[in-house]
Each structure stands twice: as structure tokens, then as C-alpha cells.
Amino acid sequence: MNPALALIRMRVASLRNGAQNVGKDSIAKVFVVLFGLGNVIGIGYWVSAVSFRFIESFPAFGASLNAKIVALLFFALFVLVVLSTVIVTYSTVFLARETDYLFQHPIPPRTIFFLKLAEAIAFSSWATLFLCMPVLVAFGVLRKAGPLYYLQCAGILSAFLMFAGFTGATISLLLAPVLRRLTPLQFLGLGAMALVLLGWTFLYSFGLWGFKGDNNLLLLDRFTSRLTAMHSPYFPSQWASAAVLAAAAGNHREVLFHGSTLLANTLLFLPMLAWYSDRLYGRQWVSLRGFSAPDRKGPIPVVGTPAARAAQRGPLAWRALGKGPLPAITLKDVLLFARDPAQVSQSILFLVLMVIYSLSLLNIPDYFSSPTLRLVIYFANLGAVCMILSSFTSRFLFPLISLEGRAFWILGLAPLPRTYLLHQKAFFGLGVSLFLGIVLVTVSNAVLNSTPGLFLGAIYTMFLAAVCLTALSTGLGSAYPVLDEDNPARIAVGLGGTLNFFASALSLAVLITLQAFPYLIFGVDPGPWVGVSHLLSLAFTGLLSAFAFGLGARALARREF
């Protein structure tokens, strides 16, 4: 049988078996995921429709600004998908365990390469497809476009995501020989410098703080006008946005021209990637898998000597945690994280986005100065900060149990209760998420000039949110582990990871509603009812955490290794 057809049949069989298992064991989980995904699409459409109608109400520049926003959307999507594909491609094409398995069979490197490349692009862009389509549908409804518009948008968006994915994959392949020669510390430093420079350029090159108050729409118009790359005829986001705008106007010739330009440039990647897969991929994969760490400087300590015992005990910072399995397992998690380029890159990107969000609060309109509007901004900011933390826990904490992999049997046979591992992951994750959440909520409320009472309430809410999110991520991660997968991105976007994300979003909605209900009922001065809301939030956090931990503990106790 042709190797490519055999791999396709293997994928189809895997999906069919997964669907059969879902039908038997996880109907409720699938329903929750589909319900949450439907809500996300519905909310995205509603927000986009309201925003487009509001901007269109300004006759002087509304229509042109909406067109520029569509172009800005494609520009931002191109940057995000390229960055995501760069990270995912490196780990999927070179480091994945399945790639090693496929190379042990008589399968041509080209077949393996294109299979893993398709997986990397799919994992990098599937969420973008679901989030972008509601925006384009809302724009089509605003412009009263015909049914053909929506089919054209689907084709344009698919070709655009393929172009962005191929671009990111090409960059990853060019960087692969360089990355393998960098130590984790060097890689961390270079990645942080690159992302900080990109963020600085994006924020300050166009004078984003040049306008205040009622001029914010004019600021957005000036920003989109001066972003020259977005309007360049040689940039892919311009081809895609021009095709969408032409489709909304019913100009099918323009749609055909710009769509053909986008598709032709997308197809140009195929012969280049085919040449790479035939000539270079096999050798680069062997060199990456065979690369060994540099030799340690100095003599190797002799077994039994004080130097050898000190080396076994580890660094002084970890010895301060005391003896026992807790510092050993925690050190293992930290080292595995630091040695994974994909994990480190995505964590740096997450931190940069946190900084950009905090700085964006400096440009809140001046007319939002009444107590009621300030409360609306306060709770909106609190919800945004909690959702940022939710994305962090879903991406980095949920896969922790699954990343133990097939060696989980070692921990299963260790003289430790199985719940010990669950508690270790929870306390480790809580320390990281609580630190990031407190820093972000402190900076954002300082920028908003919140009153002392609201400031302390935000920190209290963030503490409860960190506990809820950590409990859900570790509990559901233990209940639905994927021990045969070594790619944390695939674990996070799987069925269990998607369920965890929507459960986290729902729990945050309940928590923030409990904190806000005194202000909704009694106004800006609710008095002692604030304390009641704090107690209700604490009780909800305790019950949710106990349920999530209990679910994870029971799943670990029943699992056979």
C-alpha cells in the first residue's frame, strides 16, 4: 500500500475510534464543549455586529474605518498564526514522539514531513477559523451581502490560513539548525528580546497615546491608516481583506483577482517544501535527535564523595524546599518546561500579551469618569484579567499530568499516595498562576485608579479565581489525561482541554457575577452586602475546588499503570 494512503487510513481509523468512544463514554463532555463553542461563536458575532453598527453610525469615516478594521483583523491574524505555527511546527515536525515512530518504518521523509506539517498548521489555525468567521459574517450582514459572500469568505479565509501556516513553517525550518545550538537560557533571552522589541514597535511607532477622550475612533483610524504593511499590495493580509471587501460589495471580478493572487502565492510554498523534505528534512531530523548537550566543565564527582552527594541534592534553592518527593517532582517539572522550546516560547508570548493589555488601559476615554461607568470598566477589566489567566492555566497546567507520559507507571509504583501527585501539580500551578494573576490585576487596577476598597476586592477575587482555575486544570487534567501524547499544545486543544477551558470560563462568570451582584442591586455603595458577596464567592470556590480535586483523585485511584 502507498505509505501516504496508509497514514491517511490510520488517521481516519483513529478519528473513527475516538468518535465511537465519545459516543459511549463522553456524551456529556462533548455536549458541554459544543455548547461552549456555540456560545463563543454567538458572542463573537454579537460583539462584532454591535461594534460594526456603532462605527458605521459615523457617516464621515465609519464605512472606511470598518473596511480598515477588516484589514487590521487579517493583519493581526497573519502575525498570530505565523508565530503560533513557528512554535508548533518545530515541536511537531522534529521533536514529537510520533515522528520518531514514523521514521522507524519504510516511509519516505516527504510523506512524514507533510503529514506532520498539516497537523501543525491545523493545530495553529483551527481556533482562528472559528473566531474569525463570526466577524466576517457580521460584516456581511452589515453590508447586506448575498449568500455567495459567505462561501467566498470561507474559501478566502482557508487559503489565507494556509498561507500563514506555510510562512510560519518555513520560518521554523530555517531557525531549526540555529535553535538546536542554543542553551535553554540563551533561547529564553533571545525570545524575550525579540517579542519585547516587536511589542515596543507595535505600541509606540504610531503614537498610540496621541489622542484622548472622544478622539479614540480617530486614533484607531490614524493607526490603521499608518500601518503601511497592512495596505501593501505585496502583503497577504491585503489580498485577503481586499477579496472580502470586494465580496461584500458584490464585485466578483475583484474577488477572483485577489483570491487567485492569494491562492497562487500559497501554492508556491509546495515545491519549496517538497524540495526541503526530499533533500534536507531527514538529515536535519537526525541531527536534531542526535544532538547532545555540551560536556560539563570540570571533573565528574566521584560517587560517594561530598561533591557527588551535593550534586545529587540539587541546587541550593531546591534544597531549601526540604527533603522528600516534593522538591524532586517540582524540579523535574521546571526542567522539562525549560527544555521545551515550544513551552518557553509560548510562555514568553503570553507574558508580552499581558504587558500589552496593561498598557492598553492607559488609553481609556475621558468620558468614562462617572462612578457607574468606572464600575463597569472595573468589572470588565477583572473579567478580562481572569480570562487571560484562564488561558494560561488551560495551556500550561492542564497538560501537566498528561506530560508524565508512558513513564507514569514509575510514579504509580512509587510509595506515595496517588493523590500526592495531584496535590503537587496543584500547589505548583497555584504558585505560578497566583503570582501572574496578582501582578496583572495590581498593575491594571493601578492604571485604572481604583479605590482602595475595589483594589482589595480585585486582589481577593483574583486569589479565588486562581484557586478555581488551578483546581479545574489539575482536576480535569487528572480525570482526562492523554498519556500517549507528548505535545502539550495537542493536549490543551483536545476534548478534555476544551472542556476545561469552557468549564473555567463558566466558573469565572459565576465568580465575577457573585462579586458584582451587590453593585448591580444597590448601586455604587452596596454597604455590608460586599462582605456577603465575598463569603458567597469563597463558598463557591471551596465547593468547586473540592469537586474538581475529588474528580481527579478518583480518576487517578481507578487508573491502572
**DSSP letter string over 11-54?**
HHHHHHHHHHHHHHH-HHHHHHHHHHHHHHHHHHHHHHHHHHHH
197 shares its domain with 337? no
Q: In the chain, count H helices and then E strands.
A: 24, 0
Q: Which amino acid is at 335?
A: L
CA distances from 39 to 34, 385, 393, 501, 512 (A): 9, 20, 21, 13, 18
Give pLDDT tens digits for 311-350.
444 454 445 455 566 677 777 777 777 666 666 666 766 6
208 three-state secondary structure: coil
Residue with the larger pLDDT of the pair 522 and 451: 451
160: Cβ–Cβ under 8 A, 6 or more apart, which residues? 74, 77, 78, 236, 237, 239, 240, 262
Residue 298: inside a domain, yes or no? no
pLDDT band at 15 (very low <50, low <70, confident <90, very high): low
279 shares its domain with 321? no
Please check whether residue 473 is in contact with residue 397, taking contact to mean a CB–CB distance below 8 angstroms: yes
Give pLDDT tens digits for 208-259.
445 444 455 555 555 555 555 556 777 888 889 899 989 988 888 999 999 9
Most confident listed range (180-189, 248-257, 487-496, 500-509):
248-257
Residue with the larger pLDDT of the pair 301 and 434: 434
The total of structural domains in the chain comes to: 2
Q: With left for phi above 0 and alpha for psi between -120 and 50, is residue 305 left, alpha or beta?
A: beta
314 three-state secondary structure: coil
Residue 293 has a pLDDT of: 41
pLDDT of 280 > 80? The answer is: yes
Consecutive H or E run containing 317:
helix 316-319
| Window from 70-74, 125-129, 140-144, 273-277 with minimum mean pLDDT | 125-129
Residue 266 has a pLDDT of: 92
324 shares its domain with 281? no
Mean pLDDT of 475-500: 76
416 shares its domain with 458? yes
Locate cell 456555540: which residue? 38
Q: Which domain holds residue 276?
A: 26-219+227-291
Question: CA angle at residue 488 from 485 to 491, to 5 degrees?
Answer: 65
End residue of a domain, out of 291, 306, 337: 291
Residue 398: inside a domain, yes or no? yes
275 shares its domain with 376? no
Residue 18: inside a domain, yes or no? no
480 shares its domain with 438? yes
Residue 121: inside a domain, yes or no? yes
What is the rounded (10 degree) CA torsion for 175, 177, 178, 179?
Answer: 80
Residue with the larger pLDDT of the pair 503 and 522: 503
277 shares its domain with 390? no
84 shares its domain with 173? yes
236 shares its domain with 166? yes
324 three-state secondary structure: coil
Residue 167 has a pLDDT of: 92
Residue 302: inside a domain, yes or no? no
274 shares its domain with 394? no
Residue 350 has a pLDDT of: 67
534: Cβ–Cβ under 8 A, 6 or more apart, which residues? 457, 460, 515
Mean pLDDT of the chain: 76
Residue 235: inside a domain, yes or no? yes
Give pLDDT tens digits for 36-47.
667 777 877 888
Residue 270 has a pLDDT of: 92
Q: Which amino acid is at 297?
A: K
**Could you tell me what percentage of the chain is helix, strand and coil, using 3-state DSSP and rounding each to the nearest 5?**
85, 0, 15
267 shares its domain with 382? no
Closest listed residue to residue 158, CA positions, set 231, 103, 240, 227: 240
Most confident listed range (42-51, 63-72, 138-147, 373-382):
138-147
Residue 299: inside a domain, yes or no? no
Pairwise CA distance, residues 46 & 44, whole Å: 6
Residue 311: inside a domain, yes or no? no
Pairwise CA distance, residues 531 & 543, whole Å: 19
430 shares its domain with 495? yes
